Structure 1
Amino acid sequence: MTDFYRAVHPLLAVLATIERGARSTHLLPYFRDVHDHLVLLNEEVAAQRDLLATVLEANMAVISVEQTKVGVRQNATIEQLTILATGFLPLTDGPFKPMDSGVVVGSKLYAVHSNYLEWPMESSTARGGPGSPTTTWSRTG
């Protein structure tokens, strides 16, 4: 389509120049006819290019919606895995030490409590920024 536009568009100016400089009046109607056909072709190519751009934009919008759905599903999965890990990681005998941990999901706090064997800890909750509570952990002893 681009090649066709590049072939037709420059001919418009050339044919307009030939029409203005035509000395033979019996050829003038033919030049005008060819010029009209070139104008129609040029407009059709421009319309097809606009239609193609619109179709591509619609396709990109559909792809974006699908990617958003996938992202929402992934976020829900990660949220569930975080809750699961918060519950089970402190119970393992692996390289993880027991810890106080929690996760906020929506408006609920899911927390698992396990004291450090070496350093018992205590917590205190205070108001942080506008409307957000802040929990502070400190060593005792």
Structure 2
Amino acid sequence: MRILDTFDEELIAQLRAQDEFFWLDLIAPSAEEIQRIGTALGWHPLSIEDTQRMGQRPKLDVYGDGALLVLQAAIAAHPEDENDHPLEEVHCHLTGDYVITVHGGRFTDLSQVRTLLQNSTSPKTERYYVYKIIDVIVDSYFPVLSDLDEEINALEDAIVAGGGRKELQQTFGLKRLLLTLRRAVVPMRDLFARQVEVITDLAGLEADSHDYFRDIYDHLIRITDELDGYHDMVAGCTDLYLSMVANRQGETSKQLAIIASIFLPLSFLTGFFGMNFDWSIAHVLSGPWSFFLLGIGSMVISGAIMWWWFRRKGWTGNDE
């Protein structure tokens, strides 16, 4: 078993002549390089075209004894709601003689696995390498899910503490991210549910390879379930935000209603004395003390009574 990171046509021809399985990991190759590699290895023209263009949805296309497996790997970022490019497309060309992966430079997990396998001294079978490559692509979603769990919990706390427009924008960002991830994971889950036997039937792979791919399918089901759960949590954050806004509006309306209620008797008293001003100063408010006692005093007493009544009903305190 050989692991390569550059295309050496003579070495690869030698490995194929010796019937030695190899893994070639290509990072951001040009269209000309893909054409040269595909021609040398006898790839189907459609397989070469798909790899040159990228932008493919997760799929499995079989061409004779080989297959093109297109997967989407996840790229973590901090914070996740500002992750504008959370996916990295990975093309896996599979046969019983080799596996060739093509991906961009942002996805470094395959490079780490390549180094780990190169340093390993225990013998590995071909099916293990194929499984390990696909497994590391699928497992790249778990760090993103871990970050999402922390961010959603922090978002809920921020909204309860009185979040504003920033938290609302963060909620929408997380919704978009979750939908993007789900559009990538669900096709991969369906692919391994229906077409995993196609990979195991490739010439050269052992018959028990489906045991490895069943583990990948289980991981995809778990990722899908967690994405659905996080989507419900983010939707709950939206409902929580709207509820908090409604509560604040209710508190403001209640405060305005209390102020209006207090000023209602004051308006009546000032209106009454104003409309009967001549009679009041001739018969009632004839002295300074009567003015303060009957005029100002009645207004203070009415306001105090209203405030006492509101306090007794519990309308002036908070809801805790």
TM range (shorter): 0.5 to 0.7
**2:239 equivalent among 38, 54, 57:** 57
Residue 30 of structure 1, CA deviation: 3.2
Deviation readout 1:48-84 (Å, 9 max, x if unpaired)? 1122223333333333333222211110111223322
**Structure with greater proportional strand content:** 1
Aligned equivalents of 2:217, 2:258: Cα separation in 1: 62
1:14 aligns with 2:200: no
**Structure with greater proportional helix content:** 2
Q: TM-score, normalised by structure 1?
A: 0.53
C-alpha RMSD of the superposition: 2.5
Deviation readout 1:19-40 (Å, 9 max, x if unpaired)? 2555623432232222111111
Q: Which amino acid in the other structure matches residue 216 of structure 2?
A: V
Aligned equivalents of 2:186, 2:209: Cα separation in 1: 22
1:75 aligns with 2:257: yes
Size of the aligned set, in residue pairs, is 93
Residue 8 of structure 1, CA deviation: 0.6
Aligned equivalents of 1:26, 1:54: Cα separation in 2: 44
Q: TM-score, normalised by structure 2?
A: 0.26
Please list, as runs of the form range in 1=range in 2, the aligned pairs for 1:1-141 lying within 5 A after superposition: 1-21=178-198, 24=201, 25-89=207-271
Q: Which amino acid in the other structure matches residue 50 of structure 1?
A: D
- Identity over the aligned pairs, expressed in percent? 18
- The alpha-carbon distance between structure 1 residues 2 and 23, as it changes in their structure 2 partners (threshold 3 A), is closer
Residue 43 of structure 1, CA deviation: 0.8
Does the Cα contact within 8 Å between 2:197 and 2:210 map onto a contact in 1? no
Aligned equivalents of 2:263, 2:183: Cα separation in 1: 57
Does the Cα contact within 8 Å between 2:196 and 2:210 map onto a contact in 1? yes
Deviating beyond 4 angstroms after TM superposition, the runs of 4 or more aligned structure 1 residues are: 20-23, 90-93
Aligned equivalents of 1:5, 1:20: Cα separation in 2: 24
Match of 1:132 in 2: none
Larger relative contact order (CA 8 Å, sep ≥ 6): 2
Aligned equivalents of 1:76, 1:64: Cα separation in 2: 18
Q: Which amino acid in the other structure matches residue 64 of structure 1?
A: A
Structure 2 unaligned regions, length at least 5: 1-177, 202-206, 276-320
Aligned equivalents of 1:84, 1:20: Cα separation in 2: 84
Structure 1 unaligned regions, length at least 5: 94-141
Q: Which amino acid in the other structure matches residue 59 of structure 1?
A: Y
Aligned equivalents of 1:44, 1:27: Cα separation in 2: 27
Q: Which amino acid in the other structure matches residue 39 of structure 1?
A: I
